[in-house]
Amino acid sequence: MAYLGAAYLWVKAAHLIFVIFLMAGLFMMPRFFVYHQETVPGSPEDQRWIEREGRLLKIILNPSLVLVWVLGLMLMVEIGAWQFGWFHLKLLFVLGLTGYHGWIASYTKKLAKGQRPLGDRQLRLLNEIPGIAAAVIVIAVIVKPF
């Protein structure tokens, strides 16, 4: 424990807590999209979904993503993670989830403009991405296969 000292376990716990918050939001938002797409653009129900999605993004997803990255980078430096193969796999999937978060933010804006570019089935399939990524990340971090 180089620079975090006794705070290491607290940083690790906070990292995991915010990963859980982030994952919850990443699972929830595409489900919101499925329901939102069923509304008529400009209707009162459409406006309620726009507000819900905006709150989820601003209150849960965005802050969680930032904290996951900050805390994760602190942990990476603390344990010298860059030297481990499992960390490279984790980082690849974390970058993918960060991109997925970006896609969610952009799709939220499209729905707010009344655009409906994807179908329900496509959104349901996209909803599987965070689960697959989480499984790979957990295996990489816990099992450390390489």
Give me the chain's average pLDDT, please. Answer: 96
Place of tokens 């296969």: 145
Task: Map residue 41 onto helix, strand or coil.
Answer: coil
1: pLDDT strictly greater than 70:
no
Query: For residue 2, what pLDDT is reported?
Result: 78
Span 14-73, pLDDT tens digits: 999 999 999 999 999 999 999 999 999 999 999 999 999 999 999 999 999 999 999 999
Q: Is the pLDDT of residue 102 over 90?
A: yes
**pLDDT score of 92:** 98
pLDDT at residue 98, as a whole number: 98
Q: What is the pLDDT of residue 16?
A: 98
The DSSP 8-state label assigned to residue 40 in this structure reads P
Please list, in sequence order, all residues whose beta carbon lies within 8 angstroms of the beta carbon of residue 22, skipping any fewer than 6 positions away.
60, 61, 64, 65, 68, 97, 101
Whether pTM > 0.85 for this model: the answer is yes
Residues of each annotated binding site: 15, 90
Q: Indicate the annotated binding residues for heme.
A: 15, 90
Query: Dihedral sign, CA of 95, 22, 57, 129?
Result: positive
Q: Kindly tell me the burial class for residue 136, based on how many C-beta atoms sit within 10 Å of its own C-beta (0-12, 13-18, 19 or more).
A: middle
